[in-house]
C-alpha cells in the first residue's frame, strides 16, 4: 500500500477511545512481517484487557521512537477523498500520521538503516492511559518523535491543560417563593463569572493562558429552585499553575466545590535545523511519557483546526511530505547520537 491507501485502511477501522482493539490487531498484523523480515521485534504492551500499546523496534540501541495514538474521538466519520484531501475520522488525528510513520520506517529499513522504533498507544483522546503505561515501561529510547497535526511544522512549544469539575449545591423550593430556597445555579453562574475575570498568565513563546467553560448543567424544572448545578472548565496552561489554582479556589470559596480532574504541564521543545517551526495550543501525550522515551519532538501532517470535527481531513501533499520529514528527523537524530 502507498501512504494514501494505508491511511484509508486505518480510517475504515473505527477506533473511538476504549475500542482500539480492532486497529491494534490490524497494525500488529501489518507490522509483523516487517519486523520478521528486517530482524526486528514487535510486542503488545497490555494497558488493560483488550487495550494495548504496540511497540516495534529495529536495531539496538534504540535511538529514535516514532509515536502517536491509535484512538479517535467520536463520532465515527467514514472515509472519502478528492484530488487534494483524504477525509474521515482520524484523517489528521492521527491515522494519516500512523501511515506516514510506517511508510517512513519501511523506506529507512529498505535503505539499511536501524536503531529506531514505532510506538502506537491507546487512550490519548481521553486520559493518555497508553502513554502513562509506556512511561513506566520504557525501552531506552533517546529521542521521541510524537505525531500530532502541526501542518508538518516542528512545534517549539505546546500549552498544557488544567481541568476542573465545578459543583454547587442549594435547596429546592417552589420558584414562586425563592426566599424559601437556595439556587445552586445562581451560585454556579456567579462563580463562573468570577473565574472568567481572573487575569491569566502570558508566556513569550506560548502566548496567553485561556479558560473555557465546556459544559454547564443543573436544576430539575423551570418552576423549581435548583438544588444542584455543575460545570466542566478547562484552562490552557502556559507555565506554572500555582497562582491560577489559587485564584480559582478564591472564586469558588463559599459557593462551589472544585474537583481537579487532570493537569498537563506546558512544554518547551527544541528545533531541528532545516525544519519550519510553530507553536501549538493543544496538549499531547508527551508529558504522560514522563521523559522516559527520550527528548521529545512534535510534528505531523494536517491541521488541528479540523480535528475533532465532521470536516476532519488531511492534505495528500502533506502526507507525502511527512513521510520524507520523518525519515529526515530519524536520520538526523541517529547521526546526532552517534557523534
User: Where in the sequence numbering do the catalytic residues fall?
Assistant: 124
Exposure letters 230-245 (e unless 16+ CB within 10 A, then b) = bbebbbbbbbebeebb
* Cell 502556559 belongs to residue: 238
The HSE-up count of residue 189 (CA atoms within 13 Å, CB side) is 7
State the Cα–Cα distance between residues 323 and 90, nearest whole angstrom: 17
Chain-centre distance of CA 86, in angstroms? Answer: 21
State the Cα–Cα distance between residues 80 and 82, nearest whole angstrom: 7
For residues 63, 270, 307, 287, the Cα torsion angle rounded to the nearest 10 degrees is 70
C-alpha cell at 270: 527544541
Amino acid at each position: 500500500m502507498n501512504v494514501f491507501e494505508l491511511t484509508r485502511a486505518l480510517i475504515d477501522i473505527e477506533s473511538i477511545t476504549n475500542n482500539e482493539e480492532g486497529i491494534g490487531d490490524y497494525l500488529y498484523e501489518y507490522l509483523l512481517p516487517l519486523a520478521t523480515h528486517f530482524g526486528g521485534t514487535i510486542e503488545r504492551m497490555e494497558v488493560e484487557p483488550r487495550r494495548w500499546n504496540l511497540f516495534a523496534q529495529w536495531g539496538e540501541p534504540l535511538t529514535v521512537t516514532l509515536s502517536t495514538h491509535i484512538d479517535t474521538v467520536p463520532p465515527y466519520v467514514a472515509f472519502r477523498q478528492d484530488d487534494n484531501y483524504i477525509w474521515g475520522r482520524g484523517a489528521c488525528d492521527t491515522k494519516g500520521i500512523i501511515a506516514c510513520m510506517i511508510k517512513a520506517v519501511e523506506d529507512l529499513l529498505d535503505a539499511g538503516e536501524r536503531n529506531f522504533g514505532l510506538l502506537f498507544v491507546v487512550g490519548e483522546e481521553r486520559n493518555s492511559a497508553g502513554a502513562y503505561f509506556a512511561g513506566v515501561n520504557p525501552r531506552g529510547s533517546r529521542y521521541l518523535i510524537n505525531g500530532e497535526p502541526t501542518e508538518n511544522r516542528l512545534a517549539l512549544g505546546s500549552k498544557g491543560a488544567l481541568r476542573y469539575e465545578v459543583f454547587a449545591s442549594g435547596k429546592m423550593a417552589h420558584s414562586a417563593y425563592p426566599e424559601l430556597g437556595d439556587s445552586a445555579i445562581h451560585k454556579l453562574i456567579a462563580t463562573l463569572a468570577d473565574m472568567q475575570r481572573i487575569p491569566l498568565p502570558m508566556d513569550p513563546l506560548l502566548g496567553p493562558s485561556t479558560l473555557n467553560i465546556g459544559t454547564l448543567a443543573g436544576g430539575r424544572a423551570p418552576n423549581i429552585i435548583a438544588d444542584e448545578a455543575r460545570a466542566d472548565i478547562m484552562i490552557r496552561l502556559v507555565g506554572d499553575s500555582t497562582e491560577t489554582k489559587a485564584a480559582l479556589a478564591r472564586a469558588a470559596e463559599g459557593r462551589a466545590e472544585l474537583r481537579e480532574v487532570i493537569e498537563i504541564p506546558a512544554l518547551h521543545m527544541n528545533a531541528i535545523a532545516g525544519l519550519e517551526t510553530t507553536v501549538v495550543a493543544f496538549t499531547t501525550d508527551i508529558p504522560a511519557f514522563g521523559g522516559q522515551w527520550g527528548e521529545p519532538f512534535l510534528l505531523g501532517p494536517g491541521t488541528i483546526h479540523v480535528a475533532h470535527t465532521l470536516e476532519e481531513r488531511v492534505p495528500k501533499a502533506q502526507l507525502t511530505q511527512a513521510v520524507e520529514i520523518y525519515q529526515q528527523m530519524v536520520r538526523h537524530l541517529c547521526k546526532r547520537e552517534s557523534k
